[in-house]
Amino acid sequence: MPNLFEPFTLAGLELTNRLVMAPLTRNRAGAGEAPTALAAEYYAQRASAGLIIAEGTQPSAAGQAYPHTPGLHTDEQTAGWAQVADAVHARGGKIVVQLMHAGRISHEAIIGTRPVAPSAITPAGQVYTEQGMKDFEEPRALETAELPGVVAEFVDAARRAMAAGLDGVELHAANGYLLQQFLATGANSRTDGYGGTPEYRARFVIEVATAVAAAIGADKVGIRISPAGTMNGISETEVAATYAALLDGLNPLGLLYLHILEGQDTVFHEKLRAQWTGAVIFNTGFTGPSDLGTAQAAVDDGTTDLFCIGRGFLANPDLVERLRSGADLNEVDTTTLYSGGAKGYTDYPLLSA
């Protein structure tokens, strides 16, 4: 039986264990939305994770979702990420960064311009801005001629991730952000070959993955999906056909991993895992316990190669050691998830403290 606490080889990356830290938006970027020395300390504290997937990071200014999320489209931001990569590597960890273009899950109050999306369909709900909660706005539908430019933003950010010394990137095609907006019938009513059928809805995501893989190497590129997820006002029909088309397009690329957020329909998710020819990372996506028992069972029964935990790593820098030894866990401070500087970020106690 595979053991969670034993090493795993993920393409060229030698992971010390099968536990992955989930991407977690923490809204603590510094000037110019660059990661700070505090971010380097936060991630270095968590370097005993087999793999860290760093927080959702905008590949362009227009792709920013929330205040003070980091970017990866300026030299200052690239330098900030280099600090993070160095700090994690110095502790023997591995780290990829999640490239997250918000699409319609943003607001003019955040990015200074109308958010873009596959179609001019307003999501239900509200977004946090520095002026308080605001209703989502009707996004501007991207023109067909603009799509290569968005692909190029992902490619540029991925190149910058490599220049910063990070171990790779994760394309965020989950949780209702831009890439899932293309996949989802509820957000995509395009008639230009990028919507209308499962294959056409999958096409933009496949084009982004193909271009990023060509630029930095397929073994440096993972992708996160949340089939049938409903986060951020997303809704999908023809789910099985759309994700089958997506995986058909992605499988030949030989990507680093497929990261699946579990939904209610676990049988469907098993089919996806069966179709995927590479390594799998699994996260419950808020559907159930994200604990040692769940992780070990999912690895034991072959559901996944690697198990991804979010809030457990957020509150426990030494989560791996705590799970291995059966120690108690720190509780998450929900008041400092998205603000608070060092408080609730780098001050969670270690077992040894």
Ligand X SMILES: Cc1cc2nc3c(=O)[nH]c(=O)nc-3n(C[C@H](O)[C@H](O)[C@H](O)COP(=O)(O)O)c2cc1C
Q: Which residues bind ligand X (CB under 6 A)?
A: 22-25, 55-56, 98, 172, 174-175, 224, 261, 283-286, 290, 309-312, 337
Q: How far is the CB of 80 from ligand X (least distance, A)?
A: 16
Residue with tokens 């029964």: 301
CA 107 to centroid of chain Cα atoms: 20
Q: How far is the CB of 255 from ligand X (least distance, A)?
A: 16
* 315: enclosing H helix or E strand: helix 311-315
Length in residues, the chain: 353
What's the rounded Cα separation, in Å, for the pair 156 and 74?
10
Q: Considering beta carbons, is residue 172 or 190 the nearer one to ligand X?
A: 172
Q: How far is the CB of 18 from ligand X (least distance, A)?
A: 14
Q: Considering beta carbons, is residue 196 or 340 the nearer one to ligand X?
A: 340
Our CA angle for 209, 214, 216, nearest 5°, is 95
Given CA atoms 76, 79, 83, 88 in this order, what sign does their dihedral have?
Answer: positive
* Closest alpha carbon to 67 in 23, 128, 112: 128
Q: How far is the CB of 140 from ligand X (least distance, A)?
A: 24
Q: Which of 42, 177, 194, 200 is labelled catalytic? A: 177
| Coil/strand/helix, residue 51 | strand
Q: Considering beta carbons, is residue 5 or 199 the nearer one to ligand X?
A: 5
The CB-nearest residue to ligand X is 310
- Expressed in angstroms, the distance from the first to the final Cα of the chain is 34
Q: Considering beta carbons, is residue 24 or 141 the nearer one to ligand X?
A: 24
Q: Considering beta carbons, is residue 45 or 290 the nearer one to ligand X?
A: 290
Alpha-carbon distance values, 72 to 11, 98, 245, 313 (Å): 24, 10, 29, 23
Q: How far is the CB of 329 from ligand X (least distance, A)?
A: 12
Reply yes or no on whether 345 is catalytic. Answer: no
Partnered with residue 281 across adjacent β-strands are 259, 306
Tell me which residues are annotated as active site.
177
